[in-house]
Structure 1
Amino acid sequence: MADVEAVNPETNLHLRGRRIFTSVIEELMSTQGMSNAENALLIGNSAGGLATILNCDRFHSFLPGACRVKCISDSGFFIRAEHLRGAHDNAIANFRKVVLFHELAQFLPESCTQRLAPELCFFPENVVNDIRTPLFLLNSDFDKYQIFNYVAPNSPNEVGWKNCTTEFSKLSSCTENQQHIIMDFQTTFLETLEKLDDNPSRGLFITSCYAHDFIYYPSNWQRIPTLQNKTIQQVLGDWYFERSSVRLIDTQNLHPINCPI
């Protein structure tokens, strides 16, 4: 996302991800035939899933002649969790640091920065509605990374949060209060999704796996539980080739489920 001209003289650190993205796309178009593509798909997971959301329309702009350009964000729907205990300040503080360090404010969607602070425009919930290119959101409403890193009990006397939320097998060791917070995360996540507009080109596959990142490794594809008897392969194919609209959300599991991925 970044394009900072200055280079840190001590570390030689370059913050030029935006230029790298452009160069990669231009290379693929000039030497690999992507300029003649009829179908194109941008996909990323975790931080790459967030970057996919933020770069989706830009990716489409490189391929004006393609008939089908779409984006898939895998585990990139990071939520602000404004009313969730312990999550609001943690997530915003982290995103604010990223936006400031990489000087991203000028590259975030103006439709968002005109009404909200730049760090809030790093949250997908505030920019997804403005994305014109068809977008698919693949995520867990018990996102392990977000729960582990951005949620914690407010009480300073509470201990064991980082330990009990590390893996699914350890969740049973969480205190009753901690387990309630984990359940609250699911509620908050689904409420955040509900605030998005009902865009017919947007696909959803929201599982309740206690996991983060689903399709980075091919072996994981077979282990993601079906929703309405459809595998993730079927769902993504139906959405991408417009065989049917896809908005599948696991509303049956009110607790995290174990998905060995």
Structure 2
Amino acid sequence: MADVEVVNPETNLHLRGRRIFTSVIEELMCTQGMSNAENALLVGTSAGGLATILNCDRFHSFLPGACRVKCISDSGFFIRAEHLRGAQDTATDYFRKAVLFHELAQFLPESCTQRLAPELCFFPENVVSDIRTPLFLLNSDFDKYQITIYIAPNSPNEMGWNNCTSMLSSCTGNQLSIIMDFQTTFLKTLEKLDDNPSRGLFITSCYEHDFIYKQYWQGTLTLQNKTIQQAVSDWYFERSSVALVDTQNLSPINCSVTV
């Protein structure tokens, strides 16, 4: 997302991800034939899933002649976690530091920054509804990474969070209750999005983070008898709308597979 001209003299850090993204796309178009593509798909996982959301319309702008340009965010729907004990402050502070460090304010969607602080426009919940390109959200409402960075640091009276976030069977009853509060908050955040018919959803209750690059893609996980692969395929080729959200499992599920 960043495009900072000045190089940090102490660290020699080049904060130019925006330029890199542009160069990669241009290379694919000029030398790999992507300029003639009829179908294109931008996919990212975790931080890359967030970057996919933020770059989705920009990606589409490179391919105005393509018939079908869409984006998939895998485990990139990071929530601000409003009403979750301490988590909102932790998440907001984390994103504020990222926006300031990479000088991202000018590159975030104006539709959001005109009404909210820049760091809040780094949260998908505040920008997804403004994205014009069809977007698929693949996520867990028990996102293991978000639970680890949001909840564990804000539960000082609960010991053993490292064990709990690594293995569900190690969680105490109170820890599981707090984790279930995260699911409630995640689903409420998801409900605030506009009802866009071009958006796809596959929201599982697995205690997991990242799906596409693991064997889940091969059919080990289903919602309403659809695998992730089938759901994405139906959505991408517009065979049917896909809005699959697991609201039946109120406790996290151990869905671990071999990477």
Instruction: Name the TM-score, length of structure 1 as normaliser.
Output: 0.95
Q: CA offset at residue 154 of structure 1?
A: 4.3
Task: Please tell me whether residue 189 in structure 1 is matched to residue 186 in structure 2.
Answer: yes
Q: Which residue of 2 aligns with 1:24?
A: 24
Pairwise CA RMSD of aligned residues?
A: 1.2
Tell me, yes or no, if the aligned pair for 1:223 and 1:260 is still in contact at 8 Å: no
Q: Helix, strand or coil for the counterpart of 2:15?
A: coil
Partner in structure 1 of residue 170 of structure 2: 173
- Superposed CA offset, 1:147-183 (max 9, x none): 01111374533322232112xxx32332322211100
Is the Cα–Cα contact under 8 Å of residues 85 and 152 in structure 1 kept in the other structure?
no
Which residue of the partner structure matches residue 242 of structure 1?
A: 238
Unaligned runs of at least 5 residues, structure 2 = none
Aligned-residue offset at 1:124: 0.2
Q: 1:96: how far off?
A: 0.7
Distance in 1 (alpha carbons) for counterparts of 2:125 and 2:144: 19
Kept after mapping to 2: 8 A contact 1:45/1:76: yes
Asked whether 1:225 is paired with 2:221, we answer: yes
Match of 1:215 among 212, 227, 230: 212
Cα deviation, 1:9-39, whole Å, max 9, x if unaligned, reads 1221100000000000000000011111100
Give the alignment of 1:23-102 within 5 angstroms: 23-102=23-102
State how far apart, in whole Å, the 1-side matches of 2:148 and 2:180 are. 13
Number of matched pairs: 257
The amino acid of 1:63's aligned partner reads L
The unaligned stretches of length 5 or more in structure 1 are none
Contact 2:219/2:228 (8 A) holds in 1: no
1:58-98 deviation per Cα after TM superposition (whole angstroms, max 9, x unaligned): 00000000010000000000000110113111111111110
Question: How far 1:223 sits from its partner (Å)?
Answer: 5.1
Q: Residues 172 and 10 of structure 1: is their aligned pair in 2 closer, same or farther, counting only changes over 3 Å?
A: same
- The reply to whether residue 204 of structure 1 matches residue 204 of structure 2 is no
Say if 2:87 and 2:154, in contact at 8 Å, map to a contact too.
no
Residue 142 (structure 1) aligned with residue 138 (structure 2): no
How far 1:260 sits from its partner (Å)? 1.9
Give the percent of matched residue pairs that are identical in Structure 1 and Structure 2: 86
* AA aligned opposite 1:240: Y
Moved more, 40-49 or 145-154: 145-154
Report the Cα distance in structure 2 between the residues aligned to 1:67 and 1:156, rounded to whole angstroms.
52
